[in-house]
Structure 1
Amino acid sequence: MTLPPDFTLLQVVPELETGGAEQTTIDVAQAVVRAGGRALVATRGGRMTARLEADGARLAQMPVQSKNPLVMLGNAARLVDLIRREKVSIVHARSRAPAFSALWAAQSTRTPFVATYHGVYNAKNKLKRWYNAVMTRGDLVIANSNYTRDHVLAEHQLDPGRIVSIPRGVDLARFNPSWVTPDRVVALRRAWGVEADDRRVKILLAGRLTRIKGHRLIVEAAALLKAQGREDFLILFVGDPRGNADYLAEVERAIADAGLTGQIRVVGHCDDMPAAYLVGDAAMLPTTKPESFGRTAVEPQVMGKPVMASNHGGVTETVVSGETGWLVKNDDPDAWAAALGRVLDAGPGRLAAMGQAAANRARRLYSVDTMCEATLAAYRQVLEARA
């Protein structure tokens, strides 16, 4: 995909710690640089900034994560200065709070404004609906799944011509089983205390340690499974608590109280997720609330692992039940215990076959290159419409 001459993209995201919106920010910045453009990211910063700058993008550090009105006004002024100084072609906001500053700056400088609806935001009153609607006030809205697109259309009565669905993408070079060296898998096994001769079925739940990810649900389901006399499984909770120390303690206490310390381990943040998925035989995403897309249901499939996921939200588009994984009734411990039992009974051959089907489909539909090409095409569409 070619870009107009002197194209400069400014993305605005609260921080670059970890998460789907943050990864997509880095992916699109890299694509712009590769296509001959310049990429700027206004953000508070975070552990992913080194990767951003290594790809040739530039960091504009400012407190855009703040919801303080005075700070937001200050951010708007900083963004106006940045847009004018760098001759920004398009402003792309990826979160609501910084979107207000970014929209004001874009309107002040008459710069095209794009926003990605990364989540299905709750709106229990008119004020919250107005707050959420900031993401729809620009030239174009990008939805990260058809599920999200349908929600935006229903919630905001948006002209369908002003919204496009672009599913998130996975880096097929990074998430490639053939390119993960055995020593990386061994290192994680050692760090997590998984013995080389452990023949139990190992299942990963990857993602931030937050309540909606369903860790407590899985503890309940695993307890039901153990009550049936089954102990042939090891569940690994892989993710960063990031300010959720109370919830981490709650999960660890629930594991201990259920007598599951031998079957469930909380292993913390992992920087090598491709290798992490190869430690496991399957993965799961038991969210208690719908995910707008659910990257951690797609990444393991790309790595050849079948996935169990709650039967709601964007994952209903990415997981084909019975073929690439299993869709399980939401927030139902009995249903999840039964699903876990099916995984344990499937056997290595069946799991491998489903994993291969998952990899074939996910690599075809959800590559980062496909996502970036569609995003750059959307930028061109916006610029042409403005012209």
Structure 2
Amino acid sequence: MRIALYNLTTTTKFGGVESFVWDLARELAGRGHAVSIIGGVGSRREAAPGVRVLTFPFISRRFWQAIPPLRRAYAEAKLLERLTLAVPALAHLARGGYDIIHIQKPYDLAPALLARRLGGAKVVLGCHGEDFYRGDTLLARHVDASVSCSHFNAATIEAHYGFRPQVVFNGIDTSLFRPLEPAERRNRPAQLLFVGRLQPWKGVETAIRALALIPDAELLIAGAGEDRVRLEGIVAELKLEQRVRFLGGLERQTLPQLYSRCDLLLATSHASETFGIGPVEAQACGLPVVASNFGGFPEVIDAGRTGLLVPPRDPQALAEAVTRLLADPARRAAMAAAAPTWAAQFAWPAVTDRIEAVYRSL
């Protein structure tokens, strides 16, 4: 099949959806499909063999948000950004001879459906969040198929659009994310780890406030984002400067080593978390997880066996769960042993089988 994976940000930034597109492209190309990634002009990763990358200019959402009526219209600014990409990309999308156009955001419904009318490709809507906007329900009903990254997200999509997508969990590279020889851990505090973008809804504040209630532990924060300055202020307010380390944004290739030297991963989101790629990668490396009982986290953590779930935005509950596990090395070791087997269901070959089955059904 000739497959277009169309998503502006795949070629302009790093993130969960972006990694999903790159990895899916690699897997599909390895199965003999002709795969093109179509995105915006910007810095991008090295493409896998057999994957063609095409980039087109666009007008950033920051330009649109500088216009006073759009300053707080986040969805509309993102929609305009996507539509400006569609103008130069549409001719190729329609005439590229594609069998499948797989989009990752509802913002791209209009150009994908127009390309289908002009070129005949089937349109697959990938659902990773709640990127809704006025008028999207009129477009979404015309897609040929839809897939969602979790049952939690599928229920949200069904409530909004009136149809339920097929659930196909996001995938991980188990050749990269696998157990490594544990790093030397003598004579150091327990190390807690957060991995993700520094956005308010990721709940890093909860992790920092929980740390103040956990003796003899450090918190490593791997990620970059707009919330860092505020979080650094909270660290200073709680006098935790010697126990919290901001590592900045890290390449994926460095994460397995980081997981191998830590004791627990903290996943603290309280909004917009439809899957949870970080907890899956950590478990694949044999690192137990303590996570918010929210969104997609309950689907990617085997509660009680590979980690624990706690109420979101509750530093006390998070601190108590972490303290219990830190005080019970045998239980942590059992969780670490069970985690890679549990995470194997998210390996890319299995995920690609499911995606490929959706394509073939069209």
Q: Which runs of 4+ in 1 moved over 6 A?
A: 68-71
Q: Deviations over 1:193-252 (max 9, x none)?
A: xx9755211111100111111111112212233xxxx2x1111110122xx1xx211101
Q: Which runs of 5+ in 2 are unaligned?
A: 62-76
How far is 1:311 from its partner?
A: 0.4
The alpha-carbon deviation at position 99 of structure 1 amounts to: 3.5
| Residue identity opposite 1:79 in structure 2 | A
Match of 2:319 in 1: 337
Check 1:342–1:134 CA distance in 2 against 1; reply closer, same or farther (3 A cut).
Answer: farther
CA distance in 1, matches of 2:244, 2:337: 26
Question: Who is 1:314 aligned against?
Answer: 296
The one-letter code of the counterpart of 2:247 is V
**1:305 match:** 287
The aligned counterpart of 1:362 is: 343
Identity %: 27
- Deviation, structure 1 residue 293: 0.7
Confirm or deny that 1:33 pairs with 2:29: yes
| 1:290-335 per-position Cα deviation (integer Å, ceiling 9, x unaligned) | 5111111111000001101100111111112221100011111211
CA distance in 2, matches of 1:136, 1:366: 29
69-78 vs 195-204, which moves further: 69-78
Q: Is the aligned partner of 1:282 residue 2:269?
A: no
Distance 1:115 1:199 in 2: 48
The range that moved more, 94-103 or 112-121, is 94-103
Once the two structures are superposed, what CA deviation does each residue of 1:124-178 show, in whole Å capped at 9, x if it has no partner?
A: xxxx3533775553101101011111221222211x4xx2110011111111224
The 5-angstrom pairing of residues 54-73 of structure 1 reads: 54-63=48-57, 67=77
**Cα gap change, 1:343 to 1:129, in 2 (>3 Å):** farther
1:201–1:234 Cα contact (<8 Å) kept: yes
1:37-91 deviation line (CA, Å, top 9, x unaligned) = 21111112555x333x233311111246754777655543433321344311111
The residue aligned with 2:66 is none
Once the two structures are superposed, the pairs formed by residues 96-107 of structure 1 within 5 Å of their partners are: 96-107=106-117
Give the TM-score taking structure 2 as reference length.
0.87
Where structure 1 has 5 or more consecutive residues not aligned to the other structure, the ranges are 1-6, 186-194, 383-387
SS of the residue corresponding to residue 275 of structure 2 reads coil
Q: Find the partner of 1:294 among 276, 289, 314.
A: 276
Distance verdict in 2 for CA 1:61–1:132, change over 3 Å: farther
Q: Give the AA of the match of 2:48.
A: A
> 2:16 matched to which residue of 1?
20
Cα distance in structure 2, aligned partners of 1:134 and 1:276: 43
Mapping of 1:98-137 within 5 angstroms? 98-121=108-131, 128=133, 130-131=135-136, 134-135=139-140, 137=142
Query: How far apart are residue 350 of structure 1 and its match?
Result: 2.4
1:80–1:109 CA distance, 2 compared to 1 (3 A): farther
Where does residue 262 of structure 1 map in the other structure?
242
Q: 1:373 Cα deviation (Å)?
A: 1.2
Q: Residues 58, 322 of structure 1: CA spacing in aligned structure 2 closer, same or farther, 3 A cutoff?
A: same
Aligned pair count?
342
Any residues of structure 2 matched to 1:214-253 within 5 Å, and which? 214-225=203-214, 230=215, 232-241=216-225, 244=226, 247-253=227-233
Match of 1:205 among 194, 202, 210: 194
Alignment partners' CA distance in 1, 2:79 and 2:185: 54
Secondary structure of the 1:36 match is coil
**C-alpha distance in structure 2 between counterparts of 1:250 and 1:70, whole Å:** 29
Quote the offset at 1:368 in angstroms.
1.2
Deviation at 1:102, TM superposition (A): 2.6
**Rounded Cα–Cα distance in structure 2 between residues aligned with 1:297 and 1:68:** 28
Separation of aligned partners in 1, 2:249 and 2:139:
32
Alignment match, 2:171: 169
Question: In 2, Cα distance between the equivalents of 1:72 and 1:296?
Answer: 27
Q: Does the CA-based 8 Å contact 1:328-1:336 persist in structure 2?
A: yes
User: 1: distance between equivalents of 2:83 and 2:8?
Assistant: 15
- Taking the aligned partners of 2:272 and 2:88, their CA distance within structure 1 comes to 35
Gap change, CA 1:253 and 1:172, over 3 Å in 2: same
Q: Which residue of structure 2 aligns with residue 153 of structure 1?
A: 158
Amino acid at match of 1:148: N
Name the Cα RMSD after superposition. 2.4
Which residue identity lines up with residue 336 of structure 2 in the other structure? G
Q: Secondary structure at the match of 2:125?
A: strand
Structure 1 pair 132–344 and aligned structure 2 pair: CA distance change class (3 A): farther
* Residue in structure 1 matched with residue 74 of structure 2 by the alignment: none
Asked if 1:372 corresponds to 2:352, the answer is: yes
Q: Distance in 2 between the 1:24 and 1:224 partners? A: 36
